[in-house]
Structure 1
Amino acid sequence: MADHDRDVPLPRFRRKPTLDGEAVLLRPVTVHDVAALMPVFQDAQVTRLTGSHRENGLDEARLRAWYGTRADQDDRLDLAVVEKATGNVVGEAVLNEWDAGNESCSFRIAFVPDAQGRGLGTEATRLIVGYGFEELGLHRISLEVYAFNPRARRVYENVGFVPEGVLRDALLWEGARVDAVVMSILAPEWFKHRGRPAGTGRTLS
């Protein structure tokens, strides 16, 4: 942590909330969710869309060790996405890479293949982004989305994320270099439209 960040109080990342929506419930992720989340790490299409290289491997034991420590983190928020109709854990939504001095952080979300295309990702994104602004007091939340994932980009735009620029050749995937689009949403924008900006249609993800 930089010297100028030491006097900046931690936001309420220590508290792990439960966020209740119409179709999904976001709750603190636990080690018991690993089995349900394994398809996120094993499915070829999911790993491609998230640009997740697995050179070192991610077996269940390593994932259980990782998820077993999420409740203790005071600089990030890892939530499991539960589909309310079934009670199944279908993905995760994360606020991470917190920058205290600039009141900003990054966002990522991933779903198991069977849960995609039903609007669950859009609602989960609204819930956790809203929490970031309204409860954690963040000013900026950003993400990167690869050029070969236009469906995810539409979801982010539907929630109010705005493209900022392109990271050229940011990903090398199976011999091809792929651009990443940087997107962000700011607190004043969120409080203006609450994740439903005018002129955007409903996109399923």
Structure 2
Amino acid sequence: MADFSYKPTLTGDLVTLRPVTEDDVPALLPMFADPEVARLTGSHGRFGEGELRDWYGSRGERDDRLDLAVVERATGRVVGEAVLNEWDPGNESCAFRICFAPEGIGRGLGTEATRLIVGHAFEGLGLYRVWLEVYAFNPRARRAYEKAGFTAEGVLRGALLWEGERVDATVMSVLAPEWAERRKV
């Protein structure tokens, strides 16, 4: 059975994923302040530094989710976060989300971070299914998820109201047997 109380450090060639802390907030603030990041993630709320410090400071205590900071190895800077949440132990599944500050976008860091945390979900936690939602106006993210092995399952029509327009969200998932098969290649 999965154990989300263990907070691992996962290392790749470009990034290290490690437990996020309140000390990471200054590096993550640009992620919350950028209007394009807010649009692509469908984030309507604005968060103050104090709220974010409380949030990130409490992530290590949670046994129902895994919040990891994405650290660029070349610079040692925190550039984003990768999260496994909405854990459903009875069905051996969870959701995945990833978000980057503007400086971390478009350099392959997200691809590697996705591979590391999803690999941990299957190989470290023994889960069967990892799923996510991606908005229709974020085709770059959808392509990245497809490259990582996620498959579209369906569309949540009008799931997001963004600046007066309804936007669809595609539900995507990858299953443990699919992940294992990809690892063989």
TM tier, smaller: over 0.9
Q: CA shift at 1:195, angstroms? A: 9.4
The structure that has the greater radius of gyration is 1
Is residue 91 from structure 1 mapped to residue 80 from structure 2 by the alignment?
Answer: yes
Aligned counterparts, 1:1-205, within 5 A: 11-54=2-45, 57-194=46-183
Name the aligned partner's letter for residue 108 of structure 1: R
Name the aligned partner's letter for residue 163 of structure 2: E
**Number of residue pairs matched by the alignment:** 185
Q: Is the alpha carbon distance of 1:195 and 1:123 closer, same or farther for their aligned partners in structure 2, counting shifts above 3 Å? A: farther
Kept after mapping to 2: 8 A contact 1:13/1:75: yes
Name the aligned partner's letter for residue 35 of structure 2: A
Kept after mapping to 2: 8 A contact 1:160/1:195: no
SS of the aligned residue for 2:91 comes to coil
Q: CA shift at 1:39, angstroms? A: 1.1
Name the aligned partner's letter for residue 29 of structure 1: V
**What is the root-mean-square deviation in Å for CA atoms of aligned residues?**
1.1
Aligned to 1:203: none
**CA offsets, 1:79-124, max 9 Å, x none?**
0000000000000000000001100000000000111110000000
| Gap regions ≥5 residues in structure 1 | 1-8, 197-205
Name the aligned partner's letter for residue 48 of structure 1: R
More helix by share: 2
Q: CA shift at 1:194, angstroms? A: 2.6
Counterparts of 1:115 and 1:58, CA distance in 2: 20
| Gap regions ≥5 residues in structure 2 | none
What percent identity do the matched residue pairs reach?
Answer: 69
